[in-house]
Amino acid sequence: MPRSETTDLWKAVFACRHRYTGRPICSEACDGVDGLCEGFADEQCQVYPFHFLLLYVAATIVMLTAVVEVGLFLLRRKALTRQATVKRLKPRMSLLEREMEVRREVICWLIYH
């Protein structure tokens, strides 16, 4: 398939030196076509070995798990403190409810009598 000059210009972003003239040029990196860079620099693509990729994925999973666990721990702690606060305030709330009931009865008595 013939190469189109207009699309290749936008792909040529790898800066290197021309093999014969020594001038700076831009070439497509890792395209399988000789771009005339010194030492075939544009074709020396670094592909990570599988075990490095696996290591990165495992590290990402461990970090995400740690973040989720810390979040769950903080939520549980907040729930426990709220539960303790409600337990501590419950007697006060029952007193307030009794006061409100008395006030309602007084208001009803005043309105209807």
pLDDT digits (tens, 9 = 90+) for 13-50: 889 999 999 999 998 888 888 889 999 888 888 777 88
Same domain for 57 and 105, yes or no, is: yes
Same domain for 70 and 38, yes or no, is: no
Task: Output the pTM of the full model.
Answer: 0.41
Q: Which domain holds residue 32?
A: 5-43
Tokens encoding 51: 């075990």
Per DSSP, the three-state class of 13 is coil
Out of 36-40, 57-61, 88-92, give the one with best mean pLDDT.
Answer: 57-61
Same domain for 84 and 105, yes or no, is: yes
Per DSSP, the three-state class of 28 is coil
